[in-house]
């Protein structure tokens, strides 16, 4: 079991969703020797946020009830599947903190048995080869108000169907010229039971089986029988498969399993401003609207990992969302809340100025020359005469022991452009001509004496003084409100900082026919920032809280010592309060 599954008994007692209650009853009744679940992704794209809920549920209940969970790739469509997708899916599951039982399974590993069962259905009179075109099959399927029309081949003999099915297997039919259909009920009110197609011709090489097959089972046929083969006890899927359950049960029953698996449906994860259609996400990748499946704006697990989201935060989010049978839309801010909660005590602090405004301290040499006698006991510093730098030692986290770092304080600094306003708005608490003093984080009180304008009237620089007596001390005789962050201008390191908004500007992007019309043009902004020197040495994938700015991660693809790149994970705070 994974490390995060400690104290399962307590967690099990806390979670009382309907699926866990069903399993709890089955365990009490000793219905199965062991609970067996499965996570069955189709390897036709990268996993997304919706899959996180399914992963947490399937692996979670297996852990909680002393069972196992299989990872199975439902790879029945070789035209859309790639080994790259398989490799990334495995990586995603492991990164989230889960372990599957034994080796990963593939539906393609059961193709011989599935073919034998298809032959069995023909011999039982439960399947037939249909030679109608796909258009004819669709037209003759009927509607919700009228029954379908039987295929001309529906009542062909067993011998004829066996021959035709073998011809399909031997490659004697072109794609779309023949299919194998289950023989159920063309008048069923459930459209999925109107003789669904269970095998089709596809002259495509498979990434697992090579060119052995030119016919492939449909997902709805392979899935229940794969579950049955693996001894799955609880097949958990989302509500859109509820209407497919009668065929799931039909297939397992017709093949003949003494202890068949049972399918249970739960509501899918719908998050506002988020799209989880793999087809449309692939379109964004193919059209280079995003940089790839792992673009930090993408709702894929790979994208969220590169963005800096934590597995702990994602698991917490899914636990807060819960498991129900009622479809609803979750506020995206709940996801950010969970991520933020997971970062608070696990990330070191650092300073980065995202929009630099240069400040020259006109009394720097005079002020710091007496720092030794003026400093408070709480200040740990050293003076480098050659570099004219006061090195300040600061803890990497105010409340958690994460070590210390040195920060250079020099004659020229950068503060954020937003921390000085000539005409400040109401409630503004930072620097302005009327409020020239403020505390620089961990150092002196600074007073602005002059602002420098360009030809357009924009502030492009400040001149200021520091109060020598305020290094680690409060000023005497006055109160200075407000603290701002800063970075040394001479020793700070230029860095690219990527700021993100949601990729989609509409609340329900799946409702927009053209995905381009749902895109947010401001989803990515790249800033030329300056960061403290310690950040340049950060390993790719290291997360930080940039003080007063938010949580960031050293990008796992582009970050280097020479060219630091940081991605915004989430803002420092939000007005959202979870129930």
Q: Does residue 495 sit in helix, strand or coil?
A: strand
Q: Is 254 one of the catalytic residues?
A: no
> What φ, ψ does residue 72 adopt, rounded to 5°?
-130, 130
Q: How far is CA 501 from CA 70, 307, 480, 522, in A?
A: 36, 12, 34, 7
Residue found by looking up tokens 């799931």 in the block: 248
Decide: 265 and 242 in contact? Cβ < 8 Å: yes
* Measured distance CA(352)–CA(485) in Å, rounded: 8
Tokens for 514, please give them. 């053209």
Whether 514 has a binding-site annotation, put simply, is no
Residues with Cβ < 8 Å from 435, sequence gap 6 or more? 424, 428, 429
Residue found by looking up tokens 């039971």 in the block: 193
Whether 238 has a binding-site annotation, put simply, is yes
Residue found by looking up tokens 């930090």 in the block: 296
Residue 498: closest CA among 308, 349, 271: 308
CB neighbours of residue 156 within 10 Å? 17
Per DSSP, what are the bridge partners of residue 488?
413
* Measured distance CA(85)–CA(16) in Å, rounded: 34
Tokens for 4, please give them. 């995060």
Whether 340 has a binding-site annotation, put simply, is no
Decide: 442 and 392 in contact? Cβ < 8 Å: yes
Give the β-pairing of 565-570 and 493-500: parallel
Whether 42 has a binding-site annotation, put simply, is yes
Residue 332: closest CA among 567, 96, 60, 578: 578
Catalytic residue among 15, 24, 141, 268: 268
Catalytic residue among 169, 183, 278, 498: 278
Whether 521 has a binding-site annotation, put simply, is no
Task: Return the C-alpha torsion angle 261, 267, 271, 277, nearest 10.
Answer: 50
Q: Is 278 one of the catalytic residues?
A: yes
Q: What is the DSSP string of 38-68?
A: EE---SSS--BHHHHHHHHHHHHHHHHTT-E
Counting beta carbons within 10 angstroms of the beta carbon of residue 304, is it exposed (0 to 12), middle (13 to 18) or buried (19 or more)?
buried
- How is the beta sheet containing 352-353 ordered, strand by strand? 348-350, 543-546, 550-554, 565-570, 493-500, 524-531, 352-353
Residue 556: closest CA among 351, 339, 315, 294: 294
Whether 473 has a binding-site annotation, put simply, is no
Catalytic residue among 42, 64, 532, 549: 42
Decide: 140 and 177 in contact? Cβ < 8 Å: no
Q: Is 315 one of the catalytic residues?
A: no
Residue ranges for the binding site?
A: 42-44, 74, 219, 238, 268-269
Residue ranges for the binding site for ATP?
A: 42-44, 238, 268-269
Residue ranges for the binding site for L-glutamine?
A: 74, 219
Query: Which active-site residues does the annotation give?
Result: 42, 268, 278
């Amino acid at each position: 079991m994974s490390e995060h599954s400690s104290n399962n008994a307590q967690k099990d007692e806390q979670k009382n969703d309907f699926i866990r209650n069903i399993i709890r009853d089955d365990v009490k009744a000793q219905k199965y020797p062991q609970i067996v679940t499965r996570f069955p992704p189709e390897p036709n794209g990268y996993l997304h946020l919706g899959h996180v809920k399914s992963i947490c549920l399937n692996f979670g209940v297996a852990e909680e009830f002393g069972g196992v969970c299989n990872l199975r790739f439902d790879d029945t469509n070789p035209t859309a599947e790639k080994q790259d997708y398989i490799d990334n899916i495995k990586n995603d599951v492991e990164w989230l903190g889960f372990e599957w039982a034994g080796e990963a399974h593939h539906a393609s590993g059961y193709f011989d048995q599935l073919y034998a069962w298809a032959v069995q259905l023909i011999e039982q009179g439960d399947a037939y080869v249909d030679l109608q075109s796909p258009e004819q099959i669709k037209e003759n399927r009927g509607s919700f108000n009228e029954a379908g029309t039987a295929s001309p081949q529906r009542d062909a003999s067993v011998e004829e169907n066996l021959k035709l099915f073998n011809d399909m297997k031997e490659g004697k039919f072109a794609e779309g010229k023949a299919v194998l259909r289950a023989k159920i009920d063309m008048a069923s009110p459930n459209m999925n039971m109107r003789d669904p197609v269970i095998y089709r011709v596809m002259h495509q090489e498979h990434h697992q089986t090579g060119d052995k097959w030119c016919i492939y089972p449909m997902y709805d046929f392979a899935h229940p029988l794969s579950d049955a083969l693996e001894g799955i006890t609880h097949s958990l899927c989302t509500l859109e498969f509820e209407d497919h359950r009668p065929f799931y049960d039909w297939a397992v029953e017709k093949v003949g399993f003494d202890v068949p698996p049972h399918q249970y449906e739960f509501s899918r994860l719908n998050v506002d401003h988020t799209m989880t259609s793999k087809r449309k996400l692939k379109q964004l990748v193919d059209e280079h609207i995003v940089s790839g499946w792992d673009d930090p704006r993408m709702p894929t697990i790979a994208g969220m990992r590169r963005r800096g989201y934590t597995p702990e935060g994602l698991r917490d989010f899914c636990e807060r969302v819960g498991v129900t049978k009622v479809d609803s839309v979750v506020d995206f801010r709940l996801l950010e809340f969970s991520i933020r909660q997971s970062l608070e005590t696990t990330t070191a602090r650092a300073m980065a100025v995202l929009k630099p405004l240069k400040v020259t301290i006109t009394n720097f040499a005079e002020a710091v020359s007496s720092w030794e006698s003026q400093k408070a006991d709480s200040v740990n510093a050293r003076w480098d005469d050659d570099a004219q730098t006061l090195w300040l030692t600061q803890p990497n986290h105010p409340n958690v022991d994460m070590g210390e770092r040195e920060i250079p304080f020099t004659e020229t600094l950068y503060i954020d452009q937003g921390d000085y306003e000539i005409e400040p708005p109401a409630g503004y608490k930072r620097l302005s001509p009327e409020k020239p003093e403020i505390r620089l984080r961990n150092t002196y009180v600074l007073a602005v004496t002059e602002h420098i304008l360009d030809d357009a009237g924009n502030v492009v620089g400040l001149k200021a003084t520091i109060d020598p007596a305020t290094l680690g001390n409060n000023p005497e005789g006055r109160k200075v409100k407000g603290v701002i962050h800063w970075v040394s201008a001479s020793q700070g390191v230029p860095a690219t900082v990527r700021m993100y908004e949601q990729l989609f500007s509409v609340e329900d992007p799946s409702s927009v026919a053209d995905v381009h019309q749902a895109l947010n043009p401001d989803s990515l902004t790249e800033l030329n920032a300056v960061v403290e020197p310690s950040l340049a040495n950060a390993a790719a994938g290291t997360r930080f809280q940039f003080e007063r700015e938010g949580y960031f991660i050293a990008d796992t693809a582009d970050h280097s010592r020479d060219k630091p790149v940081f991605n915004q994970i989430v803002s420092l705070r939000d007005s959202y309060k979870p129930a």
